[in-house]
A and B are shown apart, each in its own frame.
Chain A
Amino acid sequence: MIELISTQQCIACDKCILVCPTNVFDRGADGLPVISRQSDCQTCFQCEANCPADALFVAPHTHPLPEASFAHDEEHLRRTGLLGSYRRDIGWGKGRTPGAALAVGPALSPSGPPLIS
């Protein structure tokens, strides 16, 4: 689930509010997004993929994590490279090659074609 919005990195572009398929965010009084309906989050990582500022972190868990969790430790997420890692891996963002262009996986059978998705 969405667990972190970095107020330090957020540029208040409203993109996450717009793209979240299950309408989890609202715009807060200060203009930054707030997580209003976390229980509706389906852990699809789309907000993170679409955040141009790498300001969001979605934990893989489908239930909320406690306050002391790594998912709320912004410094830890930055240090380990987890913040913004999905965007990096799919090659979204300026100067990156779209991951789709490089997506040549293994074949599922000896004579089969390589998996590309």
Chain B
Amino acid sequence: MTLELTTDVLVVGGGPAATWAALKAAEEGASVVLADKGYCGTSGATASVGTGVWYVPPEPDAREAAMASREALGGYLADRRWMARVLDETYERINELADAKYPFPAGPDGTSLRTGLQGPEYMRRQRIRVRRAGVTILDHSPVTELLTSFDGAVAGAAGHQRQADRPFRVRAGAVVLATGGCAFLSKAFGCNVNTGDGALFAAEAGAELSGMEFSNSYGIAPEHTSVTKTAFYNYATFYRADGSVLEGAGSQRGRSVIARTLLSEKVFCKIDLADEAAQKAMRLAQPNFFLTFDRLGVNPFTDPFAVTLLAEGTVRGTGGIRIVDDGCATTVPGLYAAGDAATRELICGGFTGGGSHNAAWAISSGSWSGRAAARFARSIGRGTRRVQAVGGAGLRPAGKVADVDVAEVVRTVQAEVLPYDKNYLRHGDVLRDALGVLDGVWESLRSLESVGTASVTARQAAAMVAHARWMYTSALVRNESRGMAKRLDHPELDPLQHHRITSGGLDRVWARPEVVAA
């Protein structure tokens, strides 16, 4: 028996952007359903990791400094107007959280410190707030495809509830995709639910992407472990196996030195620049950072430990679904995008270290998209539209049906996007070869038919392959080095390429320059 629901707004995802979207849509008077692949409250990067927040008081000098600080890093692709409105919205929403009793800590002078959020605490409370707002939460309910009406507008979504093992369909006046970025099942902290599903759904409905070349973020973690929290590596020294210092290696600048060295030898680390007071304070700020060390029996301040870099793709990259207005609408009527599923170039251009800006973007874009989706749903009214499901690859074969080993597809795409010498240290020749492989895998997924739980994994695989193809196609259009999109064969920034790159397409992937509004 299929679970059938009808609502004004459907929010797909369950992290920060999704919960803010659900809250603000409900405040607008809309009925709201939130469908999360996992469990709203624990799902996604923020819930496990925690996050800094780009929270800046509305003082002109502070705001100016905040906006100026990342412009060069981002390759001058951010937009001041968007930065300003994100700073405004984030300031209000974080204060709203404080009013809702989130326990922000107090500084030495007693002032409430609001520039960060503990992940488990933040998302546990967001779940409670969403429930109190009357939102219907569907946990363990991965969406597998969108529904569209005869005029092409998005009109809901369908999927399969994993624990109940039954299909579900939600007809909606508008849909917000807040499914997170794509980390290619790299096991980066909390990121394995982030397989880029929303971007696939959006593209199938006709939406575009932007900034997909900004998709090669890698987080530092102790070898064979998951915790990719990197702030405290600012207090670290990196070493070779013989104990000599690895020159040029660092967390903020010099992560590529670590990547390059890891191709041929192990890299070790000690967080040896923190004094005793800092060490103690670190444990309070990030208890999850120490989970790994305490359980391995390693003292990270005195014992060298081997490190690795885990791909965080577009989770800490900035590429995603293209936004076309202040309400975070996509190019498709009735479809909105928020958080890491959407492009974050508007506020950080081609670089973000995750956290801070991404967190502010999730809060802001979530709130805006929720409100806008509620208004859109109201404008079209409650009448029943005829809908069709538009999912393709991995779900509904384009021609002949064939058996496809989905686990093998995942291994193949991972082999093209996880290695440092392919995705991190990019070269045009390597990207072109990778695209050849990825196009072939996509082709095979077009002949796969799947239902039930199998459709969830098949669609994740399709989303990852699509993501990888948009990434590398976009990277090949940017023949320069800007933001995080660096090319070994084009190492300099080219002032003539001061544009964003829009991409899209499924069977035929395309990417083209898009002039940045002055």
8 A Cβ contacts from B34-50 to A: 37-39, 41-44, 47-48, 50
Is B192's CB under 8 angstroms from A22's CB?
yes
Please determine whether B38 and A20 come into contact, CB atoms closer than 8 angstroms.
Answer: yes
B104: interface (CB < 8 Å): yes
B120–A117 contact, CB under 8 A?
no
Question: Majority SS of interface residues in chain A?
Answer: loop
Residue from B42, B102, B191, B225 with most neighbouring chain A CB atoms (10 Å): B42
A108 cross-chain contacts in B, Cβ below 8 A = 231, 234
Stretch of B196-204, B280-288, B377-385 contacting A (4+ beta carbons < 8 Å): B280-288
B63 in contact (CB, < 8 A): no
Check A62/B226 contact, CB under 8 A, given A21-B44, A45-B48: yes
| A23 and chain B: residue at smallest CB distance | B162
In the complex, A23 Cα to B460 Cα: how many Å?
15
Give chain A residues whose Cβ lies under 8 Å from the Cβ of B140.
23
Number of interface residues of B (CB under 8 A): 64
Q: Which residue in B121, B231, B295 is a CB contact (below 8 Å) of A100?
A: B121
* B294 touches A (CB below 8 Å): yes
The answer to whether B107 and A104 touch across the interface, beta carbons within 8 angstroms, is yes
The 8 Å CB contact of B278, one of A21, A59, A98, A106, is A106
Residue contact B295 to A116, C-beta cutoff 8 Å: no
Does B190 contact A18, Cβ atoms closer than 8 Å?
A: no
Determine the distance from Cα of A17 to Cα of B278 in the docked complex, in whole angstroms.
Answer: 37
Report the separation of the CA atoms of residues A89 and B121 in the bound assembly, to the nearest whole angstrom.
12
What is the minimal beta-carbon distance from B273 to any residue of chain A, in angstroms? 11
* Inter-subunit contact B285/A113 (CB<8 Å): no
CB <8 Å contact, A90 and B118: yes
Interface residues of A in 41-90 (CB under 8 A from B): 42-46, 49-50, 59-63, 82, 85-86, 89-90
Name the distance in Å between A27's Cβ and chain B's nearest Cβ: 10
Query: Are B42 and A20 in contact, with the CB atoms below 8 A?
Result: yes
A61 shortest CB reach to chain B, Å: 5
Q: For the complex, what is the distance from the CA of A23 to the CA of B43, rounded to whole Å?
A: 11
The stretch that binds A, out of B17-25, B109-117, B239-247, is: B109-117
A18 to B101, CA, bound (A): 25
Q: Which residue of A lies closest to B283 (CB)?
A: A89
Q: Is A101 an interface residue, CB under 8 A from the partner?
A: yes
> A103, B226: Cβ atoms under 8 Å?
no
Cβ contact of B103, chosen from A22, A23, A101, cutoff 8 A: A101
For the complex, is A115 an interface residue (Cβ under 8 Å from B)? Answer: yes
Residue from B162, B222, B226, B284 in contact with A44 in the complex, judged by beta carbons closer than 8 Å: B226
Please indicate the chain A residues that have their CB under 8 angstroms from the CB of B103 in the complex.
98, 100-101
Any A CB within 8 A of the CB of B496: no
Asked if A60 and B38 make an inter-chain contact with CB atoms under 8 angstroms apart, the answer reads no
Interface membership of B236, Cβ < 8 A? no
A102 touches B224 (CB 8 A): no
Nearest-CB distance from B356 to chain A (Å)?
Answer: 10
Using A46-B48, A116-B116 as known contacts, list a sample of 12 further A-B pairs with CB atoms less than 8 Å apart, ordered by residue number in A.
A19-B41, A23-B38, A42-B226, A60-B291, A61-B224, A86-B288, A99-B287, A100-B104, A105-B286, A106-B282, A117-B119, A117-B285
Residues on A lying within 8 angstroms of B by beta carbon are 17-23, 40, 42-46, 49-50, 59-63, 82, 85-86, 89-90, 92, 98-106, 108, 113-117
B interface residues (Cβ-Cβ under 8 A, vs A) = 37-39, 41-44, 47-48, 50-53, 102-107, 113, 115-122, 139-140, 162-163, 187, 189-193, 222, 224-227, 231, 234-235, 274, 277-278, 281-288, 290-292, 294-296, 355
